Structure 1
Amino acid sequence: MGVKATTMRDAPALGRVHYDRRMVQEVRRGRDLAALPKAHLHLHFTGSLSVPALKRLAEAREMELPAKLVDGVALDVPYDKRGWNRFQRLYDVARAAVRGEAALRAVVRNAAGEDAAEGSRRLELQVDPTSYASSVGGLQEALEIVCDEARLASAESGVQVGIVVAASRIRHPLDARTLARIAARHAGQGAGEVCAFGLNNNEREGRTHEWEGAFRIARRAGLPGVPHGGELRGADHLAEVVEHLRPTRVGHGVRVVEDPDLLRRMVDEGIAFEVCPASNVQLGVYREHHDVPLRDLLDAGAAVALGADDPLLFLSRLTDQYVTARETHELDDAALARLAKSSIDASFAPADDKRRWRAEVDDWLATPPK
């Protein structure tokens, strides 16, 4: 499944302004990172939107968006004023624009189109159907729409889109069990199928062990666990996530470096880390990009997949994360290729597809930079 250069049906314009201005540096310093084959494993539904795409959805509902959500300064604040609450308020406003079947389909198309422009071969898009169910008739209906559009968008964009159903820490754990049962009906590895079960939202909310039952239901259906942990809260909390939810991957997990024994255990168990540098900095977990412990994780032998998390608010897409790895963490092209392969290996795509994409990474590395 190669990436096609065709225009997707009714797809919003791709919002690539943020990293295009740095492509000159990329060409001068190494190979084109937007052409590097990779998998995108940490991307949230509404947060995947470009600003122009969000504006179109809001206009369709005659909804006025706050200026700071669309003028490029949403979270551009001093370090001591960054944090989860500011982020969540703006995310909730954006999510209010995503109502109805057409909007849900537009989000999926936009996400696939953005990732196609960045060399993604596999996108695992995370959604909590609860947030959109009321506008389309229910949880099952919301998930069916998302999965159906993921199949269509996969065929048109060349990006294989799998769906991660994620429960929320701010809802009752019993709601998560309902979601796990619904997700199980759509379980699979291919395009438009539910490939994993997650837990997101504010890490400070709830008691982790209360979601153990939902993850057990998901595992019985063959759905691996991909809960968030180790970003807003530290290594002690991440240890609870590992113990009770038995993840195959963790969303973020960067603060595992605070506990070398836990890091060693997670590496030994093959738990992959979905590292999102822009999120870590914009939420105030780390002051600057060079503080994000990417190299510490890599030096420890961790499997790492870079992710953009919520480009709408962080104004930083997937290619930006690789630019940061190159320019801030000084990874050369061989190391960046290993990162891309790590993301492919950590995905839940079919094995044959993974082998093909890994070979494409080798081809990228074998081609001299222009």
Structure 2
Amino acid sequence: MKVLRFHGKNIINGANSLEYLKQVSYKKAMIITGGKSMFRSGVIDKIKTYMEKPGCELKIHSGISKNPTKDQVMVALEEAREFKPETFIAVGGGSPLDAAKAVLLFYEFPELNFDNVFDKSLPTERTRTNFIAIPSTSGTASEVTHVSVITYPEKNLKLAIKTECLRPDLAIIDGNITMSLPAHIAAQTGMDALTHALESYINTNGDDFTDALAKEAIEGILEWLPVSCEQATLESRQKVHAFQCMAGMSFSNAGLGMVHGVSHAFGGLYNLAHGLGNAVILPYSMDYNKKDAAVAAKYKNLSKAVGSDIIEKVRELGRRIGIPACIKDAGVAEKDFQADFATLTENSMLGSTAVNPIKVSMDDMKKFVHCVYYGEKVDF
């Protein structure tokens, strides 16, 4: 028996769905967002307009970086404790959404903190707070997942806090919000979503429900992501926005794999953007995992659906939308990579690598990390 949960109470999907905020009741709401992009695009002003109600207070906390840290969460948490909201609204990319989840967890359950969050049995339900998530990028699907990924600078690690109470109550999937995304960000976040779908699809914890969501997301992203990057039409942005959400619903139930383990290792050490790391590593992982018979059969199924070899299709998409061929080309200095190699490989064995369909040995991981950095073929 398996319990599946794909999202919170509701998903509001479609262009202009941000207007749904007019229907939200609240007394005090705190918005958590990133830097300046949501202000420049006018999204924050729209939210303020839609939520303007007599006797209600709205507070904005900004400044969450692309890899949110413990310190950033704590600053936002102190502000929340002073303001005392009953509603949290996370708006932006996966980073402010993940940061808001950690703030929400420690705010509602003050006995929890970064020192003990991995040592305790975490609560599964919230009773004091409401949580609305509004993604501005089409990648992490944090708006429907129970996961918060936070960077621990003192450990050079990105670690995932997981519990059902982190899953937002309301997710708003409005393609209009993504229209200001530059092409390279649309590319990286879209490849992040494709990674979620592909890793979920081959995970041994998946089932018919997660496979169906993942497969539809894979086919949809392969079709619409190039259009989203090259033409930036509202239709293409809305399509990718929806497909990334479906990928999130799949992986939050089935799990991920080694791409995320390795990507978090590079992200934790070098502040490499998560979507970019996943995008680069993905085809290498597919070459590694295809030696498993069950994975190979699933790749064959996907190849039939998309009309060509799925691994080459992913590589071709990466080249087309400007994804670097290897981590070295993504900007990580060779001298740093060589100096940090032992730490990188150790950290790459953590997290989602543990649920990769092929159990990864340390010897294989050393070869794999070498290949993804230098762009060498994975043939072991």
- TM-score bracket for the superposition, by shorter chain length: 0.3 to 0.5
Greater relative contact order (CA < 8 Å, ≥ 6 in sequence): 1
The two structures have a TM-score, normalised by structure 2, of: 0.31
The two structures have a TM-score, normalised by structure 1, of: 0.32
